[in-house]
């Protein structure tokens, strides 16, 4: 039969081909090898497979319904235009399903890579520790890490939208491959975990309202406060990283945003990210407020020497000056505001500040037994402090991190349950 002679038969052939491809989708359990130390938690595995299986069944039902409709196209006077429109809609649904599968395929396939899979499982448990507050705050769902090219990390938070209007059943965190060396990995990872924590506690909305209220009380409409409100989400995530990692966080941030001067000082008023020049200063100033020590001013001084303001446009300079002048008041609000979802406590009160003070971290480095038993983010904080102080080399820090990631991969203390 010449299918090109009949538009309905032609579309039926295309739909049947789509159905054949759909039926080739297999559960990850049948195709993804991994050692036990790299396995994905059962709860995550069940939820991911359920999402994919449900998506396949729903799409297959839609294709079958479409094929039945084509069989009666003549009697129902379905135009070829309308038939093609319905097929293209099915194809878009198929592509969205395939994109969802591909997102999680990266998570699964990398668990089967030699050594990489175990390190990723270790990072899962670093993320678990990073989310905890008072040792009690646990994720509502597993958090899974995977590697990708690029400079920065990214997160798909639990219950946020996936292609095809579905919601992700677990949290997945994309970590840049180039960050897997040394303590820099922790800065990117904990920043993304901070986004998840802020979402679970509704911190972004709470602090944006607090900023508006503060402005009203001051009778101010300054550009600095408007920028802080716009940057709230990213600043909260950076705060989470500094509170968990100490100076390791801004050092890792510098590694990400060290770009040509034009980009570091380029201000986009609509961007939710602070422009890099001021973002590093905000991060270090938060560290100074949490852990008073001369090192923070030293780090800020280094950064300003890397990117001097000489020759910068006067409008940019004006914004920078206003933001710097307002920064102490903003950080005071950020760290000391009583948050309803934290049972009336402030951010300063819920993070483990005392044990991450530079002096304490320096002492830790001299106590092998304490280092061996340290929680993941605390160990990263100590190693980052040690490399900044030149007490340990970056290669030694990398070796120790690899050893601990393998240990944490097997340590059920930090596993989601």
Closest CA to 145 of 112, 179, 110: 110
Sheet holding 154-156, edge to edge: 143-148, 171-176, 154-156
Secondary structure of 204-251 as H, E, C letters: HHHHHHHHHHHHHHHCCCCHHHHHHHHCHHHHHHHHHHHHHHCCHHHH
d(CA 298, CA 26): 55
Terminus-to-terminus CA distance in the chain, angstroms? 58
- 239-259 pLDDT tens trace: 999 999 999 999 999 988 999
Per-residue model confidence (pLDDT) at position 4: 55
47 burial level (CB within 10 Å; 0-12, 13-18, 19+): middle
Q: Please give the model's pTM, rounded to 2 decimal places.
A: 0.84
User: Residue 411's closest CA among 362, 367, 375, 371?
Assistant: 375
Q: What angle do CA 130, 132, 138 make, to 5 degrees?
A: 120
List strand residue ranges (DSSP E) for 121-225, in order: 143-148, 154-156, 171-176
Contact 238, 249 (CB under 8 A): yes
- The pLDDT assigned to 266 comes to 94
pLDDT digits (tens, 9 = 90+) for 320-358: 999 999 999 999 999 999 999 999 999 999 998 989 999
Cα(84)–Cα(209) distance, integer angstroms: 48
- As a whole number of angstroms, the distance between CA 138 and CA 132 comes to 6
Sign of the Cα torsion 43, 47, 52, 57 reads: positive
* CB neighbour class for 31 (10 Å; exposed up to 12, middle 13-18, buried from 19): exposed
For residues 211 and 214, what is the distance between their CA atoms, to the nearest angstrom? 5
Predicted local confidence at residue 1, as pLDDT: 46
The reported pLDDT for the residue numbered 297 is 96
Spell out the long-range contacts of 357-366 with Cβ–Cβ below 8 A and sequence spacing 24 or more: 357/246, 357/291, 357/293, 358/246, 358/247, 358/291, 358/293, 358/295, 358/385, 359/293, 361/246, 361/385, 361/386, 362/386, 362/389, 362/391, 365/391, 365/392
Q: How far apart are CA 401 and CA 331, in angstroms?
A: 32
Tally Cβ neighbours within 10 Å of residue 277. Answer: 23
Lookup: tokens for 1: 């039969």
Report the DSSP beta bridge partners of residue 161.
167
- Least Cα distance to 250 among 180, 198, 191, 333 occurs for 191
**SS3 of residue 159 by DSSP:** coil
Residues of the chain with pLDDT under 50: 1, 3, 417
Q: How many residues does the chain have?
A: 417
Structural tokens at position 247: 């100076």
The domain segmentation of the chain, as residue ranges, is 3-112, 181-417
In this structure, what token pair is assigned to residue 317?
């300079």
Largest CA distance in the chain: 84
């Amino acid at each position: 039969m010449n299918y090109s002679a009949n538009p309905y038969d032609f579309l039926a052939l295309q739909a049947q081909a789509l159905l054949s491809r759909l039926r080739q989708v297999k559960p990850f359990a049948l195709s993804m090898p991994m050692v036990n130390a790299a396995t994905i938690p059962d709860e995550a595995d069940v939820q991911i497979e359920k999402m994919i299986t449900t998506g396949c069944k729903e799409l297959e039902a839609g294709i079958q319904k479409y094929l039945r409709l084509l069989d009666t196209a003549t009697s129902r006077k379905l135009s070829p235009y309308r038939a093609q429109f319905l097929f293209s809609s099915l194809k878009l649904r198929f592509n969205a399903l395939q994109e969802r599968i591909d997102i999680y395929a990266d998570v699964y396939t990398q668990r089967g890579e030699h050594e990489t899979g175990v390190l990723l499982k270790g990072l899962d448990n670093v993320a678990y520790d990073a989310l905890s507050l008072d040792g009690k705050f646990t994720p509502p769902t597993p958090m899974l890490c995977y590697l990708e090219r690029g400079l920065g990390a990214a997160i798909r938070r639990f219950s946020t939208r996936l292609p095809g209007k579905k919601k992700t059943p677990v949290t997945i965190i994309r970590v840049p491959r180039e960050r897997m060396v040394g303590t820099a990995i922790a800065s990117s990872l904990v920043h993304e975990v901070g986004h998840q924590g802020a979402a679970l506690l509704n911190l972004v909305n709470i602090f944006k309202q607090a900023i508006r209220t503060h402005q009203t009380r001051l009778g101010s409409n300054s550009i600095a406060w408007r920028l802080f409100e716009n940057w709230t989400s990213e600043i909260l995530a950076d705060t989470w990283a500094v509170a968990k990692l100490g100076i390791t966080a801004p050092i890792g941030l510098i590694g990400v945003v060290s770009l040509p001067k034009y980009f570091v000082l380029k201000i986009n008023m609509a961007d939710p990210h602070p422009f890099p020049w001021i973002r590093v200063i905000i991060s270090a100033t938060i560290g100074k407020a949490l852990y008073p020590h001369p090192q923070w001013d030293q780090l800020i001084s280094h950064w300003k020497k890397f990117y001097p303001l000489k020759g910068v446009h006067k409008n940019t300079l004006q914004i920078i000056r206003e933001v710097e002048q307002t920064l102490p008041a903003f950080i005071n609000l950020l760290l000391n505001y009583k948050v309803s979802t934290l049972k009336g406590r402030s951010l300063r009160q819920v993070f483990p500040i005392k044990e991450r003070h530079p002096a304490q971290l320096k002492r830790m480095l001299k106590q092998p037994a304490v280092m061996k038993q340290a929680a993941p983010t605390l160990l990263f904080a100590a190693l980052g402090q040690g490399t900044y102080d030149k007490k340990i080399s970056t290669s030694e820090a990398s070796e120790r991190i690899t050893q601990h990631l393998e240990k944490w991969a097997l340590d059920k203390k930090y596993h989601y349950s």
